[in-house]
């Protein structure tokens, strides 16, 4: 059972798993073409609005639940109910699952400059600096709390994975930066440069998932989730510039998120290291989205 199945991260995962498993996908399915694509691959699509709390249409006997749903309307009442309340409804409904995987975000960490962030680092409103994501970090923290409670309340082995920067052929933050480069827009970076993260390619999302699921436990296991290499925005935009010949210009500002350099020790223990070199991952992304731009 995969929620948020139409999203950037979950759709490629569902398409890959549908060839080996019986996969149900839940979302609001506002885009008919995405639903058709999923159903053609064998995903059984179930329309669900987690904000309503009505999850009865989902198969209660699912063996594994992968929760990638996220609501970002900017309305606190809606987003807290959909993200935190949605997790509680899902875990109650799927209380017999062998494992519950909740995709959280490294956005839950309080900005800490260039200090390495382990799973016990302080939490805070990381993304609140962006008005269009003003509810995001707090909603993610609330959803983690619901997942922790659900693991204990229902005895469901649970993994909470704090995802860094997912990317791939369907997009991601580097793809947004590529579009900005195409249009000649300066790319915001934090004044405390460089802005470091752990980009995780969609192939490694699939590849590390079994290990992370294997670490599901009661109480919930919390783990950072990102690519092996710490890479800055400046570095990946420089790579995109080499691949396309497009210039990358930067706008240092305090009004953007700070670095998020993660300690991935626990992830390596559970799932091993990632395999997609970030440079090759970016090349694949450009080839899929703008093949006409590749010059090297």
Q: For 18, which DSSP code?
A: T
In whole angstroms, give the CA distance from residue 158 to residue 238.
Answer: 38
Domain-by-domain residue ranges, the chain? 2-168+198-228+263-275
Element (H, E) at 168: strand 165-168
In whole angstroms, give the CA distance from residue 27 to residue 8.
Answer: 13
> What homologous superfamily is domain 2-168+198-228+263-275 in, according to CATH?
NAD(P)-binding Rossmann-like Domain (3.40.50.720)
As a residue count, the chain comes to 296
Each residue's pLDDT tens digit, 202-238: 999 999 999 999 999 999 999 999 999 999 999 999 9
Backbone angles phi, psi at 79, to 5 degrees: -70, -40
Each residue's pLDDT tens digit, 77-104: 999 999 999 999 999 999 999 999 999 9
How confident is residue 19, by pLDDT bands cut at 50, 70 and 90? confident
In whole angstroms, give the CA distance from residue 267 to residue 271.
Answer: 6
End-to-end CA distance of the chain: 40
The reply to whether the predicted model has a pTM over 0.95 is yes
Each residue's pLDDT tens digit, 239-289: 999 999 999 999 999 999 999 999 999 999 999 999 999 999 999 999 999
Backbone angles phi, psi at 190, to 5 degrees: -70, 150
In whole angstroms, give the CA distance from residue 108 to residue 90.
Answer: 21
Q: Are 193 and 158 in contact (CB under 8 A)?
A: no
Average pLDDT, the chain: 97
Segments in 18-80 forming alpha helices (H): 32-40, 76-80
């Amino acid at each position: 059972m995969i929620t948020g199945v139409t999203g950037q991260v979950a759709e490629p995962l569902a398409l890959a798993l549908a060839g080996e498993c019986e996969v149900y996908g839940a979302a609001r399915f506002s885009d008919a073409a995405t639903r058709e694509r999923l159903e053609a691959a064998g995903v059984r699509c179930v329309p669900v609005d987690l904000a309503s709390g009505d999850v009865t249409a989902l198969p209660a006997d699912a063996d594994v639940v992968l929760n990638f749903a996220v609501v970002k309307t900017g309305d606190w009442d809606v987003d807290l109910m959909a993200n935190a309340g949605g997790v509680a409804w899902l875990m109650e409904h799927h209380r017999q699952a062998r494992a519950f995987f909740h995709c959280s975000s490294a956005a839950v960490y309080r900005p800490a400059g260039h200090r390495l962030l382990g799973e016990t680092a302080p939490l805070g409103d990381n993304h609140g600096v962006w008005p269009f994501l003003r509810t995001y970090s707090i909603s993610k923290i609330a959803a983690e709390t619901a997942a922790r409670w659900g693991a204990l309340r229902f005895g469901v082995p649970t993994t909470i994975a704090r995802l860094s920067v997912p990317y791939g052929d369907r997009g991601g933050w580097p793809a947004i930066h590529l579009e900005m480069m195409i249009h000649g827009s300066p790319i915001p970076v934090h004044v405390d440069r460089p802005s470091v993260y752990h980009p995780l390619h969609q192939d490694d999302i699939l590849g590390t998932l079994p290990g992370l699921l294997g670490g599901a436990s009661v109480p919930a296991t919390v783990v950072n989730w990102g690519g092996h290499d710490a890479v800055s925005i400046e570095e990946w935009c420089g790579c995109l510039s080499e691949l396309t010949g497009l210039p990358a210009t930067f706008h240092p500002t305090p009004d953007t998120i700070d670095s998020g350099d993660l300690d991935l020790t626990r992830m390596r223990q559970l799932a091993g290291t990632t395999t997609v070199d970030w440079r090759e991952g970016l090349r694949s992304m450009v080839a899929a989205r703008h093949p006409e731009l590749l010059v090297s």
